[in-house]
């Protein structure tokens, strides 16, 4: 794959927050929890530089021997036929269905599930259709997750691999999967959409081969940097550009859950994102509309930063029917035993309704804890599935940055993680 075209996206932000008290949200009144948050000891999420550095990881991907440069799809052993539709291995790369078809829902061996709007074939190929039937969102989301993907307590699991931009070692998902002997079900990554610069998705497209080899759900976080130009009802050009990039993934049969403007309620306080909640809502509406028209199989995923119920309500999209998934990004500063449920349960119960599901786009410890601390937090999250029935998946922030967040990717960690998901 060609090297990233930096000129099209601008230079990497490389932004940090000097002077920010770790684990606290910056508010208009200074450093501290947002108004209305009771300090229960877990603190609000610590913030990190979430921006992959174009310069830092470009060289890592130019290695022709990299696992990602030689990735292939798994073989599909036999033809499958539904009615008059026959799907052979050669069809998997570009399977299509005629538009305006009658709605059907048929399950076959080999993880083949066909619906009027969504198809999951072995590696969870997403299919877009012109069917006017309303899709069953729950079935659609579940069908996109790999049946053989990493799980614990019936919760699908995955990672945000280290991009190598902040001092850690560059990881691919292929390397992580090999290290732990299991296949990640979800794959998180970051990209910046700079205001006034048409989004070309180069940061995301740079990992497309690794995503394809993963056979998992891709969870890109697209960050609107520097303003909301092209993300309004009057000018939706940037929204269209984002949707066109997402379509490049779905055209390859990759399911996509898009975290647009993740953690907006935090990033508008530190200057990473500009404007107000109203700007975000207009941007969300523009992107969701463009996605619906250009890449309708993409799921829109609203993921604010951990905060108060009032803050979530202030930033919830105006039309919640455009939201397919919800979740909260959260990095606790210490553990008391019920931290995850204390923070997540009310949000889950309020917003994971009407077919919407709940998922964690990124998490880890908010301090330099021990491996046992990481394991305890990981287990808390997985155990919460029993109390949060609409909880589908979790992605671990597997970075080495201001301290080591990793839970996999090193021999000692790999052994522990392998035993962790086996129980």
Options 128, 362, 402, 410, the catalytic residue: 362
CB atoms within 10 A of CB 414: 17
Are 126 and 250 in contact by the 8 Å Cβ rule? The answer is yes
Please report which residue ranges of 326-384 form alpha helices under DSSP H. 339-351, 371-383
- Token output for 95: 């399977």
CA distance 339 to 350: 18
Helix axis angle, 237-250 to 277-294, nearest 10°: 50
> For residue 337, what are the contacts with CB-CB under 8 A and spacing of at least 6?
380
How does DSSP classify residue 157? Answer: E
Options 263, 310, 402, 410, the catalytic residue: 263
* 212 three-state secondary structure: helix
DSSP per-residue letters across 293-314:
HH-TTPEEEE-PBS--HHHHHH
**Active-site annotation holds for 263:** yes
Are 283 and 232 in contact by the 8 Å Cβ rule? The answer is yes
Are 200 and 9 in contact by the 8 Å Cβ rule? The answer is yes
Question: Quick one: which of 274, 179, 210 has its CA closest to 67?
Answer: 210
Question: Quick one: which of 93, 188, 185 has its CA closest to 145?
Answer: 185
CB atoms within 10 A of CB 392: 25
CA distance 394 to 257: 13
**Active-site annotation holds for 252:** no
CA distance 42 to 330: 10
CA distance 125 to 143: 9
Longest alpha-carbon distance in the chain: 64
CA distance 340 to 391: 12
DSSP per-residue letters across 57-107:
HHHHH--TTSGGGG--PPP--S-EEETTEEE-GGGGGG----TTPPP--EE
Which residues belong to the active site? 263, 362
């Amino acid at each position: 794959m060609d090297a990233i075209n930096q000129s099209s996206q601008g230079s990497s932000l490389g932004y940090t927050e000097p002077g920010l008290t770790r684990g606290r949200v910056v508010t208009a009144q200074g450093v501290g929890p947002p108004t209305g948050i009771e300090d229960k000891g877990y603190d609000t999420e610590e913030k990190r530089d979430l921006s992959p550095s174009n310069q830092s990881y470009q060289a890592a991907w130019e290695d022709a021997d990299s696992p990602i440069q030689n990735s292939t799809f798994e073989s599909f052993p036999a033809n499958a036929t539904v009615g008059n539709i026959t799907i052979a291995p050669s069809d998997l790369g570009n399977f299509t269905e005629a538009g305006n078809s009658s709605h059907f829902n048929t399950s076959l061996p080999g993880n083949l599930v066909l619906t009027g709007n969504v198809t999951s074939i072995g590696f969870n190929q997403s299919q877009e259709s012109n069917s006017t039937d309303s899709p069953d969102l729950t079935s659609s989301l579940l069908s996109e997750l790999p049946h053989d993907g990493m799980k614990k307590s019936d919760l699908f699991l995955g990672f945000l691999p280290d991009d190598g931009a902040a001092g850690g070692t560059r990881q691919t998902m292929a390397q992580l999967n090999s290290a732990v002997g299991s296949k990640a079900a979800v794959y998180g990554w970051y990209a910046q959409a700079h205001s006034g610069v048409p989004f070309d998705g180069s940061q995301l497209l740079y990992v497309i081969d690794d995503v394809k080899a993963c056979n998992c759900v891709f969870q890109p976080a697209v960050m609107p940097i520097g303003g909301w130009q092209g993300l309004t009802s009057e000018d939706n050009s940037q929204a269209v550009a984002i949707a066109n990039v997402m379509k490049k993934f779905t055209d390859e049969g990759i399911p996509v859950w898009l975290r647009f403007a993740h953690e907006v309620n935090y990033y508008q306080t530190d200057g990473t994102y500009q404007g107000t909640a109203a700007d975000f809502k207009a941007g969300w509406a523009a992107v969701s509309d463009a996605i619906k028209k250009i890449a309708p199989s993409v799921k829109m995923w609203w993921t604010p930063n951990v905060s108060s119920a009032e803050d979530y309500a202030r930033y919830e999209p105006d039309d919640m029917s455009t939201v397919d998934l919800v979740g909260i990004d959260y990095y606790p500063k210490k553990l008391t035993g019920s931290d995850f449920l204390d923070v997540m349960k009310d949000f889950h119960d309020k917003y994971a309704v009407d077919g919407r599901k709940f998922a964690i786009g990124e998490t880890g410890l908010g301090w330099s804890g021990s491996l046992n601390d990481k394991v305890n937090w990981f287990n808390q999250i997985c155990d919460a599935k029993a109390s949060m029935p609409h909880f589908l998946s979790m992605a671990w922030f597997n970075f080495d940055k201001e301290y080591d967040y990793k839970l996999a990717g090193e021999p000692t960690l790999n052994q522990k993680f392998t035993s962790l998901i086996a129980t």
